A and B are shown apart, each in its own frame.
Chain A
Amino acid sequence: MKYIGTIIIMLAVFAGLNFFPVYASPVSAEDKEIEVMDFDTFSPRLEMDNDSVYVINFWATWCAPCVRELPAFEQLNETYSDRKVKVILVSLDNPDLIDDRVIPFMERMDLQSEVLLLDDPNSNRWIPLVSEEWSGAIPATVIYSAGHRSFHEREFEFDELEEIVLPLIQ
């Protein structure tokens, strides 16, 4: 019986030293992951044919206005989590910086929306496929649902996003 106390203490020490996540534990709430893809893998997300509203935001950790508006997208995601609203945050960060910069940023901001990283340097090819209206500046956002598609090369506040999204929710 006295061993149990020792084991618990040892477990606590190991956990404190961060041994545990490496070997055993299921992914905790703090472990963020990010899927990296090229444009052709990503592009079906721009054309989903169902009854959800898709809000796809292009951002990067180095882009100050993008970082400033992220909470608005997070709020949208949270507010309508039980409705058919899908927020996707598409990072355009350099994939070499995922471990040092993107993941720590996602953890610090505790991002709950789906995040993926678009790794496709030839943006001249794919920018017009996202929208003919897009010059390439970020932040930029595509909002679509059955019967609606709009593109926005601008910074959003929550109310402004909600105003566009709310009438589209089925």
Chain B
Amino acid sequence: MKKVFLLLLIGIYSTGLFAQGYEVGDIATDFRLLNVDGNYVSMADYEDAKGIVLIFSCNHCPYVVAYEDRMIELHNTYAPKGFPVVAVNPNDSIAEPRDSYTKMIERAEEKNFPFDYLVDADQLIYPEYGATRTPHVYLLKKEGDQFRVAYIGAIDDNYRDASAVEEHFLANAIDALLAGEHPDPDYTRAIGCTIKVQD
């Protein structure tokens, strides 16, 4: 019996180590964050959405820049189907001045972002989700007034060349949800920029 208890403890401890933030299947918390248009936005504001394509993003990271056009395209394809992109910048603007709110507004205007671009100014949301890098995608499926995590990971399998992509992980995951299925894979990884915090 003692052994079982010990094993259980080890189990809890080791899952604790790896389960910082959400896993697929968890209910995601809503937030209220400042958008580049000056308004505060919550997921609950997307009343007609079937879900949210939440992407932790920023201005400065070359991997994000490589994906910006694809993020715009994803939004234009899937927002009308009920899955708008919502980008959230988790970086501290002192640690990374290129990711300041002012610079976010500039970037959103330059690229004419069709999606909301929010700032996690208090850096409270990204740790709750468990985001570690930009870009880092959390595909959320709306269930009543809750949002359940359906997919975590990368946008696709080739950051460098959109035309050479073999697997469109995120698009496939959204298509699966639209078809009433569970995404497969529901977890992928990609190289990205560390989220910047002050020392």
Contact = CB atoms under 8 A, between A and B. Distances in A.
Interface of A: 60, 62-65, 92, 94, 121-125, 127-128, 133-139, 153, 155
B12 interface: no
B154 interface: yes
Contacts of B164: 121
Given A94-B160, A122-B157, A136 B62 contact: no
B194 A128 contact: no
Given A94-B160, A125-B157, 19 more contacts: A60-B62, A62-B61, A62-B62, A63-B193, A63-B194, A65-B196, A94-B62, A121-B157, A121-B159, A122-B157, A123-B159, A123-B191, A124-B189, A128-B189, A135-B132, A135-B189, A136-B154, A136-B192, A137-B195
Contacts of A123: 154, 159, 189-191
B188 interface: yes
A121 B61 CA distance: 16
A13 B97 CA distance: 45
Interface string B160-196: 1100101101000000000000000000111111111
7 contacts: A62-B62, A63-B193, A94-B62, A121-B161, A136-B132, A137-B195, A139-B194
Contacts of A139: 194
Contact of A137 (B62, B133, B158, B188): B133
A135 B187 CA distance: 11
A44 B89 CA distance: 37
Interface of B: 18, 61-62, 96, 132-133, 136, 153-154, 157-161, 164, 166-167, 169, 188-196
A121 B190 CA distance: 9
A40 B195 CA distance: 29
B169 A135 contact: no
B153 A124 contact: yes
A101 to B, nearest CB: 11
Contacts of B160: 94, 121
A133 B18 CA distance: 8
B158 A136 contact: no
A138 B191 contact: yes
A62 B64 CA distance: 12
B18 to A, nearest CB: 7
Contacts of B191: 92, 123, 127, 136-138
Contacts of B169: 124
Contacts of B189: 123-124, 127-128, 134-136
B13 to A, nearest CB: 15
B62 A65 contact: no
A40 B190 CA distance: 17
A137 B157 contact: no
A125 to B, nearest CB: 8
A121 B167 CA distance: 12
B132 A153 contact: yes
A13 B80 CA distance: 67
Contacts of A121: 157-161, 164
A127 B18 contact: no
Q: B136, B153, B158, B193: which has the most chain A beta carbons within 10 Å?
A: B193
Nearest to A137: B133
Q: B161, B164, B191: which has the most chain A beta carbons within 10 Å?
A: B191
Contact of B194 (A65, A92, A124, A127): A65
A134 B133 CA distance: 11
